Structure formats: structure tokens, C-alpha cells
Amino acid sequence: MATIEMAQTGRKVYLLHGELERGEVPFCPACGQKMHIHGSRITMLRHLRFGSRLSAVSFEKRRYRCPCCGHTEMESVPFKADDHNITRELFQFTRDLLAYGFTNKEVSELTGLGKNTVKEIDLQRLKDKYTVDGKTLRKPEKQARFLGVDEFKMHNGYKYASLIIDMESGHILWLAHGKRKRTVYDFIDHVDEAWMDGVEAVACDMNSDFQKAFEERCPHIQPVFDYFHLVKNFNEKVVGAIRKDEEAAEGKVISRGGELFSQPVVVRKSGYVQRYEELIRQNQLFFTLDIIKDKLANAYKQTDEAAMAEEISDIMDICTVKSIVHHFSSLEHVIRYFCGDAMPLL
């Protein structure tokens, strides 16, 4: 056993020398004649670690040639992993680490393999697990009761893809380009109607395409809007609108144009009482925002439908207060639209 240094990484590696167990010289697969030895070369395969040190095995690999038809082939190595210059043991160890949840970077550090090699092994592992022929997804083995669907940006934000997962196990069930109803339709066709009959609810954002697709094909499934998207929608449509309203009341300049402004004379202004009252009014408004946010969070945490309806009812009462109704009318509209089934309880 010798120690060598890998040219690419500079890491020390134990090199184990050995010989292949050989039987008879093989016969030509083309014409059936017995082949002859036609040279050899030293081959090295990466292997499992020895403690903290990486290792590799080296051996002589023969080339055979048919004297009749000229066909040549290299000697087969039973312990070599397909498509990789590593042993089957290291290949399986790498797959096991990936299956246990280690990241590609962590597996690369533990095995000494390059990131691209680990990525290729992981891709093949996922194809073996989730597809039939490397392209067609397998039907989920386990019946899911709760689904989660969301879209995400890809290719620098110019295109979207959609993801459907089992909310209890976290397993990915469907991944496809686009964020339209067609994505949901394709998933339902893939798992079939009988499988969808076992689904009780689906968590999604307020993308109406996803919701409508499930309502059209599987009306028994209850849509659930997750807390993250509820608060995000609240911040964008309510908090954002209030801030713009306040900035407009202050006469805030949001675009100065291309010319320099002249500097006015600074003088002390009167009206401190009015300004104080205005500050109180603004603080009351943002205090109301905090109350609504807290009640949204409490409503989402409830497991009892009546208790959730009570929290939502409090939010709607706040939204209809005369002094702030113009700020929160859009929020009330969103609640009435997305909580239609619960309205009789409010």
C-alpha cells in the first residue's frame, strides 16, 4: 500500500495494488472465436475511506482482440460502478449518504468525489426512485391526505415551475413547468381520480388558477391558504396601501426629475398641536395593523373552526370601523372571498 497525492485536490490517498481474478480468455461476441490478449494498462478506481484517509485501488486491465474479425474489447471489472471510475462499494455508500439527507457538498467532502460526480449519482438515484424509465414519474406509493402546491421562479425569474408535495412526508409528488391550471390537471391525470379521492385538503397560495383547478376536478378537496402567503398578501395589499396613502398625505416626492431644486429658507413652522394629533392618528393606524396581524396568526393556529371564525370575525369588525374602513376594505374583500365556506359561522 502506498500513499499518493491527487492532482486535482491535493488530498492524500491510500493506493491499494491488486490483481483481477481471471478465468479463461473470452470468446469474441461478434464471430465466436477465442480472443487473444492485446496489451494492458493500469487502471485506478476510487474506493471507500480508511478512517480519515481516502483510498483507491489499482490493477492491470487487459485488452482482448479477435484474430479473425479484429474486434477488440477491454476486460470487464466486476467491482467497478457503471459510468463512473469508482468501486461499487463507494458508489453505494454515496447513494446511501444522499438518501439519508446529506447535501451534495457534504457528500463530496466525505467521499472525496468531485461535486459533478456526486450530482450525477444523486440524479440517477432520484430517477431510479421516482421514475419508471428515467422520464416517466412513478405513481406515489403512499396515499397522501394533505397536498401542498406552490410555484417558484427559475431561469433568472423569466420562467416559472410548479411543485406539488405530500405535506405529511415532505416527498415531492409532481414538478412541472408553468403555474397554470394545466399543471394541476396533469398531476391529477397522473395519480388518477381514485387516488385524489383520498386527499382531504390542499395548501396553496392565493393563485386562483391552482384553487380553481382543484375545485373543477376535485370539488371535495378543501383549499387551505398557508400563513406565509396570508401575511404576504396582507403586507402587500394593506400595509403597502396605507404607507402609500400616508406618503401621499405628506406630499412625499418619489421622483425628483432631472433639475436641481433650489434651497428654501428654513423657518420655524407653527401647528405643533395638529402635528401631534396627526402622529397619534398614524400610530393608531399602525397599531391597528399589529392587532390584525396578531389575529391573523391566531386564526391560522386554531384547530377548531368556530374559534377560527371568531378570530376572523374580529378582523372584519376592525376592517369596518368608519375611521379606517377605506384602508382595510381590500382586506375585508379578500377575507369574504377566500372564507366563503366559513361565512355562516361569522
**CB distance 61 to 77 below 8 Å:** yes
Question: What is the predicted pLDDT for the residue at 325?
Answer: 57
Residue 161 lies in a domain: yes
More confident residue, 129 or 273: 129
Last residue of a domain, one of 100, 130, 160: 130
More confident residue, 174 or 300: 174
**CB distance 225 to 204 below 8 Å:** yes
More confident residue, 132 or 77: 77
Residue 10 lies in a domain: yes
Residues 199 and 245 in one domain: no
Residues 233 and 192 in one domain: no
Residue 201 lies in a domain: yes
Range(s) of the domain holding residue 236: 227-250+272-345
Q: What cell was used for 119?
A: 450530482
Residues 70 and 7 in one domain: yes
Distance CA 300, CA 318 (A): 18
pLDDT for 339 beyond 70? no
Look-up: residue for cell 494492458?
Answer: 40
Residues 9 and 107 in one domain: yes
Q: What percent of the chain has pLDDT over 70?
A: 72
Residue 267 lies in a domain: no
Count of domains for the chain: 3
Give the bridge partners for 80, in sequence order. Answer: 87
pTM of the model: 0.58
Encode pLDDT of 290-309 as tens digits: 777 788 788 878 888 788 88
Residues 218 and 235 in one domain: no
Residues 82 and 164 in one domain: no
Residue 265 lies in a domain: no
Residue 70 lies in a domain: yes
pLDDT-based confidence at residue 267 (cuts at 50, 70, 90): very low
Which of 245, 188, 270, 266 shows the shortest CA–CA distance to 221? 188
Distance CA 104, CA 89 (A): 18
Which of 94, 98, 117 shows the shortest CA–CA distance to 48? 94
Residues 199 and 243 in one domain: no
Mean pLDDT of 7-24: 81
Distance CA 10, CA 108 (A): 15
Q: Is 335 exposed, middle or buried (0-12, 13-18, 19+ CB in 10 A)?
A: buried
Encode pLDDT of 49-74 as tens digits: 888 888 999 999 999 999 999 999 99
Q: What cell was used for 211?
A: 384553487
- Buried/exposed 107-118: b ≥16 CB within 10 Å, e otherwise: bbeebbbeeebb
Residues 310 and 295 in one domain: yes
pLDDT-based confidence at residue 271 (cuts at 50, 70, 90): very low
More confident residue, 199 or 287: 199
Residues 98 and 213 in one domain: no
Residue 138 lies in a domain: no
Question: What is the predicted pLDDT for the residue at 314?
Answer: 82
More confident residue, 105 or 233: 105
Which of 174, 170, 169, 180 shows the shortest CA–CA distance to 139? 174
Element (H, E) at 162: strand 159-166
Question: What is the predicted pLDDT for the residue at 326?
Answer: 63
pLDDT for 100 beyond 70? yes
**Taking the CA atoms of the chain, what radius of gyration do you get in angstroms?**
33
Residues 221 and 246 in one domain: no
Handedness of CA 256, 260, 262, 266 (dihedral sign): positive
Residues 232 and 202 in one domain: no
Last residue of a domain, one of 96, 130, 164: 130
Residues 233 and 285 in one domain: yes
Element (H, E) at 98: helix 88-99
Last residue of a domain, one of 130, 160, 175: 130
Residue 281 lies in a domain: yes
